[in-house]
Chain A
Amino acid sequence: GAGVSQSPSNKVTEKGKDVELRCDPISGHTALYWYRQSLGQGLEFLIYFQGNSAPDKSGLPSDRFSAERTGGSVSTLTIQRTQQEDSAVYLCASSLAGGVEGYTFGSGTRLTVV
């Protein structure tokens, strides 16, 4: 597509429920990144894909968080048993391999856990 598409744009969920966030990167971008943005905390790296494999998943905060990427394209970030501290904006970005030209970001998914 023309840009990085994320869905849903907003998600309100009850504490303890599972949620899935979707990212559709730019066609041809082999690298895909997930970040979390909380108020006053900047962008926190979660996980990075090169193709379908994840060379760096060091930023996932707990085992409740997981992500996958299929067909070298769409990625899904899953949060199980959501907690209130999971409330944040989840940003996805994609880039050509290596990312040295910079990333293209989606508009994000705002997750609110009540």
Chain B
Amino acid sequence: AQSVTQLGSHVSVSEGALVLLRCNYSSSVPPYLFWYVQYPNQGLQLLLKYTSAATLVKGINGFEAEFKKSETSFHLTKPSAHMSDAAEYFCAVSRNSGNTPLVFGKGTRLSVIA
């Protein structure tokens, strides 16, 4: 079975500072990994995905994530935070055979301080 652990339910950064949101996964088979963002009162929007191609994945809004098999991690980063990045971020894992529902972490709320 797959599972996801997001370290830190709330992360606060200053505008312009590095954003680092941590995600560790557990999977008995090679995984597909995803990051989603949720703005207030909205559904989830796909930021980026890892599907066994390049280990460094670039997504929308300047975010990227690196798949590290040895560390079972898929941390999300952005070099410089903007006020508009304030939202809830979810990491998710699926078996790479597809046809199985995504398993989500509990989310990390990102606050950006001016």
- In Å, the complex CA distance between A107 and B49 comes to 21
* Chain A 95-107 interface 0/1 with B at a Cβ cutoff of 8 Å (1 = within): 0011111111111
Check A45–B44 contact: CB distance below 8 A: no
Residues in A whose Cβ lies below 8 Å from that of B105? 42
Given A43-B90, A99-B94, A100-B51 in contact, is the A48-B101 Cβ separation under 8 Å?
yes
Given A99-B94, A100-B51, CB of A107 within 8 Å of CB of B106: no
A55 to B99, CA, bound (A): 9
Question: Would you give the shortest CB distance from A63 to chain B, in whole angstroms?
Answer: 20
Residues of chain B in range 1-36 having any CB-CB distance to chain A below 8 Å:
9, 32, 34, 36
Question: Nearest chain-A residue to B46 (Cβ)?
Answer: A102
Q: Does A105 lie within 8 Å of B98, measured CB to CB? A: no
Interface residues of A in 19-41 (CB under 8 A from B): 33, 35, 40-41
Q: How many residues of A contact B (CB 8 A)?
A: 27
A93 to B45, CA, bound (A): 11
For B49, the chain A residues whose CB sits under 8 A away are: 101-102
Q: A40-B9, A100-B51 are in contact. Are A105 and B43 (CB under 8 A)?
A: yes
Query: Across the interface, do A50 and B99 meet the contact criterion of CB distance under 8 Å?
Result: yes
Docked-complex contact B107 and A107, CB < 8 angstroms: no
Least Cβ–Cβ distance between A18 and chain B, in angstroms: 25
Give which listed residue, B32, B43, B101, contacts A56 with CB less than 8 A: B101
Interface of B toward A, CB cutoff 8 Å: 9, 32, 34, 36, 41-46, 49, 51, 90, 94, 96, 98-107
Shortest beta-carbon contacts, A-B, top 9 = A98-B98, A105-B43, A42-B106, A43-B104, A105-B44, A102-B46, A100-B98, A107-B43, A48-B101
Task: Taking A40-B9, A91-B44, A103-B44 as given, write out 10 further A-B residue pairs in contact, using a Cβ cutoff of 8 Å, ordered by the A residue number.
Answer: A45-B101, A45-B104, A93-B43, A98-B98, A99-B99, A100-B32, A100-B51, A102-B46, A107-B41, A107-B42
